[in-house]
Structure 1
Amino acid sequence: MFKKITPKTKDDDVAHALNAALRCLTRREYSRIELIKKLNLRYTKNATDAAVKKCVENKWQSDERYAQTLFNHIVNQCYGPRKLMLEASKKGLSQSYYQEYLEETDWTEIAVKFLKKRLEVREYTFEEQQKILASVARRGFSNSSCISALQRFLSEE
């Protein structure tokens, strides 16, 4: 009635693992940890490590490039620094790759951009302002950035 599931054996061929890694990297950027996790599903640890090492040596995979791509995505979607740190840690990036972006970016301006996309400029009650602040904070902005962004947004009437 039910098909019996047998565990597949993992491939030990480095060339196959490298080919799979290159197929992945042609579609989009991957962090090194993310690529290792993906390859470990079908290939042995030795094959995966050798393939990823070759990708890094030939600069086909770069955590710096991945951090730049992640940063651009976060900023374009109007998320804050906390979201960037969360996503980077999920993907296995060390803080050294994105620390520069955190320091150089005007996060308040990004929060104002988010408010301009979502709201119309008008008078808001105190309760409405609290909801707006909560909405901006949920996107990963600090409390000070949220408050200054709302003040700047409301003053642009």
Structure 2
Amino acid sequence: MPNRKPDLLEAGDLRRGIVELLSRRDYSRLELLRKFRDRCEDGDLLEQILDDFQQRQWQSDLRFAESYLNSRFQRGVGPLRLRQELKEKGVDSHTIELVFDAFDGDWFENLYRIAEKKSKSIKENDKNKKQKLFRFLAYRGFTSEQISSVIDDL
């Protein structure tokens, strides 16, 4: 079966499609551009619609970043990885800093909880237990200073 291009959307259908997505959750502007650029013949039209949505506050990278940060924090993702993920989703550095400055979650407490849980799953007699735990937490996006402090406490 050959790859067929998706049907191109008119302005009204494009607006409806974006509203439908935004009614479920927040998206960054870049995410919406990526989702709809192949379905829109005129890239300027898509930019105009997204500009309009931003002016009306229907789409906001700030609101998206706040929601994303809270969600990923609850899943145990650390600050380094979160910053990188937000950049990949098109959120600018200034907005990322605003969101992190306003965030009131306790990174250390979250890290401690994750480390404690993970350490239980690593065999007690494993001589590389600290290294495995360190790698796991670094992958999650925590700094080496944070990780070392928690591992010393455990």
Q: TM-score, normalised by structure 2?
A: 0.83
- Cα 1:125–1:59 shift into 2, 3 Å: same
Instruction: Name whichever of 110-119 and 57-66 sits farther off.
Output: 110-119
Q: Which runs of 4 or more aligned residues in structure 1 lie more than 6 Å from their structure 2 counterparts after TM superposition?
A: none
Contact 1:74 1:83 in 2 (8 A): no
In the aligned structure 2, how far is the partner of 1:23 from the partner of 1:78? 29
Report the CA distance between 1:80 and its aligned residue: 0.9
- Cα 1:88–1:8 shift into 2, 3 Å: closer
Say what the alpha-carbon RMSD is for the aligned residues: 2.6
Contact 2:62 2:99 in 1 (8 A): no
Q: Deviations over 1:90-145 (max 9, x none)?
A: 1000111221444565432221021233334xx77762112111111111111101
Q: 1:1-157 residue pairs with structure 2 within 5 A?
A: 7=5, 10-11=8-9, 13-43=10-40, 44-103=42-101, 106-120=106-120, 127-152=128-153, 154=154
Consecutive unaligned residues in structure 1, runs of 5 or more: none
Q: TM-score, normalised by structure 1?
A: 0.81
Contact 1:81 1:140 in 2 (8 A): yes
Contact 1:18 1:51 in 2 (8 A): yes
Larger Rg: 1
Contact 1:108 1:146 in 2 (8 A): no
In the aligned structure 2, how far is the partner of 1:115 from the partner of 1:6? 47
- Cα 1:101–1:65 shift into 2, 3 Å: closer
Contact 2:6 2:38 in 1 (8 A): no
Report percent identity of matched pairs: 24
Q: Deviations over 1:54-101 (max 9, x none)?
A: 211111101111000110122111111111111111100011122144
In the aligned structure 1, how far is the partner of 2:109 from the partner of 2:4? 54
3-state DSSP of counterpart to 2:81: helix
